[in-house]
Amino acid sequence: MKSKGLLKKKLINLASGELVAVLVFWMNFFLLKKWILTTKAFISISFSLFLLTFILIQGSVFWLILIKRISNPGFAEKYTGQIYKILKKLDFILLATGIFVILLNHGEVSTFIISFSIWMFALIEWVNYYKLQLSYSLNPVVLLKYIMQRKLRKSKIANEIDNSFDFEIYGETLEEAHKNFKTKIVDGQKTEFVPDGKQGIPPKNSKFSLVNYPSKLGEMPMYITAKENNGKKYPAIIYLNGGFGGIGDSKFDWDEESPKNNYQGADAFKRDDFVLAIPSARGENANPGKYEMFYGEIEDLEEARKYVASLPYVDSNRIYLVGHSTGGTKALLLSEYSKGFRAVFAMGALPDFFWATEKPDEYGGVPFDLTNPREIAVRSSLRYVRSITAPTFHFEGQEERRDILFEPMQKAADKYKIPFKKYRIAGGDHFNILYPLTTMIAQKILADTGAKTNIQFTAEDLEKISKNIVK
């Protein structure tokens, strides 16, 4: 409590000090105004003083915000960085304008000296607030020492800006969002993705069995490599395939090995050491419900996880989620909706669905009401990154440009200390990373036998994945 008291006292001194400085400057200006003999001189000096005042008040307000955060952590956190980001740019424009104002209006040499000195003071304060902290002590030797030793720290406002976002990160969980919001599916809206009406049937020569798991809308089919109930517990992998339409699409060749440059058939997980489950969801195959595109399907897939966890031969503490492309997008959303996965591996996902709405043909059209921004937000894992509780990893090939969309998601995860990491695979694209990557994921799951997951990816791991890409 004493430390908070000292911090509050320091911040009050900083905030009040800036305001007192502003008051003193303007009092002197009005006291000496009679000595300013020309209009140009008045403009030159008053503009510089206005600029300095504007910057000092920004500093004072920021210290007041920090004072408020002592008793109310997170106060104005959503907007402060964004507002000061705008002010930083505005100040820079005004500083540049000030040079021209001084040069065009100074007249006398004395006027120029006074105006330029005030302008320099404003520039120093701007650097002190928005770039590097310059105020350490009343003794200028201390500042010189920091400069010589290159130990100048980034300013607090600069950190506030760096930790702010151009988008809203929601405090509610994705599960809470689903409880509080009902999606509106627009009948007849253009979309290429319609159910084919065919029941998902596992390939004849595969090790898959067809089971039905219960959901809110009724039973949904799932392929699963079932085991004998002999008391042995196996780790389970729930695999979400790419594309839309369900699990019966012949392009996945569930009974054959996929080509190594497009390894979409979950082949790495078809082994005796695992239970492999490939579920479908509402609106797919001949399933009940309407296709909702990354919303209600997430609720269904959580029910699929619960079903898998209930199987007597499954280790319920070792259920992993793997998804590619649209399946990767579902995996990220499910990692935010569910707390039942030990680790989540997403590949080639889309974190921000606002991007897709700008390019609606990218997904063949959407079935929901595009006029409601809430519809888009609840399908964007970026907005709900704070909901992630299990270690979650995203991978994309370096050649895939959409990977840049994960930069802000990683930034938000770092700020809130969320167990999310994104990786770019050198030399890879959306498809050819799957073979070496899923092979490595399978190995890491097999070795993950402790009380808590120990899975991580090193620089050496990423290099190995890159070297094993088949083009």
Instruction: Let me know if residue 410 belongs to a domain.
Output: yes
pLDDT, residue 1, reads 44
Task: Dump strand ranges (E) for 325-397.
Answer: 343-347, 392-397
**Looking at 162, 184, 212, which one is the last position of a domain?**
162
Same-domain status, 296 and 441: yes
Domain contains 169: no
Using one digit for the tens of pLDDT, what is the confidence trace for 263-279?
Answer: 998 999 999 999 999 99
Give pTM, 2 decimals. 0.78
For residues 22 and 58, what is the distance between their CA atoms, to the nearest angstrom?
11
Give, as one character, the DSSP assignment of residue 288.
Answer: S
* Structure letter (DSSP) for residue 425: E
- Report the alpha-carbon distance of residue 406 to residue 227 in Å, rounded: 38
Nearest alpha carbon to residue 386 among 239, 79, 168, 181: 168
**Is 294 part of any domain?**
yes
* Residue 354, domain CATH: 3.40.50.1820
Where among 162, 195, 225 does a domain terminate? Answer: 162
281, 333: one domain: yes
Reduced to 3 states (helix: H, G, I; strand: E, B; else coil), residue 78 is helix
Secondary element (H or E) of residue 441? helix 434-447
Residues 252 and 121 grouped into a single domain: no
Q: How does strand 234-240 pair with strand 275-279?
A: parallel
Q: Are residues 422 and 453 in the same domain?
A: yes
Distance CA 296, CA 319 (A): 21
Query: How many whole angstroms separate alpha carbon 397 and alpha carbon 201?
Result: 32
- Shared domain for 423 and 452, answered yes or no, is yes
- Does 186 share its domain with 124? no
Give pLDDT tens digits for 143-176: 677 677 777 888 999 988 887 777 788 889 999 9
Boundary residue ending a domain (162, 196, 211):
162
Q: How far apart are CA 82 and CA 167, in angstroms?
A: 10
- Looking at the structure, do residues 298 and 318 belong to the same domain, yes or no? yes
Same domain, 193 and 92: no
In single-letter form, the type of residue at position 202 comes to P
Say what the pLDDT of residue 430 is. 95
Instruction: Say if residue 151 is in the same domain as residue 209.
Output: no
Structure tokens that stand for 432 in this block: 């050819």
Residue 162 φ then ψ, to 5°: -65, -30
State how far the Cα of 448 lies from the Cα of 437, in Å rounded to an integer.
16
CB of 168 closer than 8 Å to CB of 383: yes
Report the C-alpha gap between 298 and 273 in whole angstroms. Answer: 27
pLDDT of 268-322, one tens digit each? 999 999 999 999 999 988 899 998 999 999 999 999 999 999 999 999 999 999 9
Q: Within this chain, do residues 264 and 292 fall inside the same structural domain, yes or no?
A: yes
Contacts of 333 (CB under 8 A, 6+ apart): 174, 294, 298, 379, 381, 384
Q: Give a yes or no: residue 308 inside a domain.
A: yes
Q: Is residue 167 part of a domain?
A: no
Give the distance, in angstroms, between the CA of residue 465 and the centroid of all CA atoms in the same chain. 24
In contact, 196 and 252? CB cutoff 8 Å:
no
**Which H or E element spans position 210?**
strand 209-215
Mean pLDDT, each 10-residue run in order, the chain (471 residues): 78 92 92 84 92 96 93 82 93 95 85 93 94 73 70 86 80 94 87 68 78 95 92 96 80 81 93 95 90 95 98 97 96 98 97 77 78 93 96 96 86 93 96 97 97 96 97 90
How many separate domains does the chain show?
2
DSSP, collapsed to helix, strand or coil, labels residue 215 as strand
Q: 10 and 102: one domain?
A: yes
Write down how long the chain is.
471
Domain that holds residue 38: 2-162
Cα(127)–Cα(122) distance, integer angstroms: 9
